[in-house]
Structure 1
Amino acid sequence: MAGRTFSSGVTPDRRLARLVVEQPGKRKITLQELDAAEIDALIGSLVAARAEMQPPVPDQRQVGEIQFLLAYQWSGIGMRANGKRPLAIRHPGLGWFGLLMPDEDAARLAAWATGPMIDDTPKGNA
């Protein structure tokens, strides 16, 4: 429903999360405090539901909608299989998610990551 806002926070001991739903003209609803495992399960459930919803997540990046992380981890997992390379990326809030990258995409990613950096910062009139 339009107009609802969602917020969250952690308890002082950082062991539980509180989820809050607010709708204009109605009282604030604080959902049960959830532990880390319950939050992980909720995130997984929400991600699965979003994948089934319309409209779908856009195929193209939307300018300004990506939040870049400075703290991340990644790992190649196992061996290449059926022309695909498994890659796992750790997001500090979402956890680990995996990609099966076709060899061609992996090669393009490697070329981009090891190639020269292009400064595409807009230049002002000096």
Structure 2
Amino acid sequence: MKLMTVELTHEDGTDLANWSTFGETLPAEAFDRLIRVLAETRRSMEPAFPEKLPMLVKEPPQVDGPAWQWTMQADGHLILNARHPGLGWIGFRMPDVEAFHANLSDVLAQRKALREELDPPIHPPS
């Protein structure tokens, strides 16, 4: 096990992480392990992340064009796998596939209605 120390700092409005490995170069896998341990630790802390996106969060962190794929487990649960460039592949288990489908259908219908409202079809003059 290689020793690594990490210091979280805040400079000019930006959070930064500085690390020291005492002369050793750590592979990316060591950071992956650290991130997994920190995420698991955060999972057990209070306050927990809210189940729904809070109204006060105007723009949660976003990833442009993430890779994603669906898989199905033997027990019928749907897994949405999404790739975050800094966190890697994260699987979200959807135990209620029908509720997820209904929710996604509602979102797509709302998106279609909004697009039609913002960009109505152009009809040629008769």
TM-fit CA distance, 1:44 = 0.3
TM normalised by structure 1 equals 0.61
Q: State the distance in 2 between where 1:113 and 1:80 align.
A: 25
> Secondary structure at 1:88's aligned position in 2?
strand
> Secondary structure at 1:76's aligned position in 2?
strand
Q: State the distance in 2 between where 1:58 and 1:116 align.
A: 24
Q: State the distance in 1 between where 2:104 and 2:53 align.
A: 20
TM normalised by structure 2 equals 0.61
> Secondary structure at 2:68's aligned position in 1?
strand
Going from structure 1 to structure 2, the CA distance change for 1:4 and 1:98 (only over 3 Å counts) comes to: same
Q: Percent identity?
A: 28
Q: State the distance in 1 between where 2:83 and 2:103 align.
A: 18
TM-fit CA distance, 1:4 = 5.3
1:1-126 maps to which residues of 2 (within 5 A)? 5=10, 6-7=15-16, 19-20=17-18, 30-32=19-21, 34-62=26-54, 63-64=57-58, 66-77=60-71, 79-101=72-94, 102-112=96-106, 114-117=108-111, 119=114
- Alpha carbons 1:71, 1:92 under 8 Å: kept: no
Q: Which runs of 4+ in 1 moved over 4 A?
A: none
Q: Which runs of 5+ in 1 are unaligned?
A: 8-18, 21-29, 120-126
Q: Which runs of 5+ in 2 are unaligned?
A: 1-7, 115-126
Going from structure 1 to structure 2, the CA distance change for 1:72 and 1:109 (only over 3 Å counts) comes to: farther
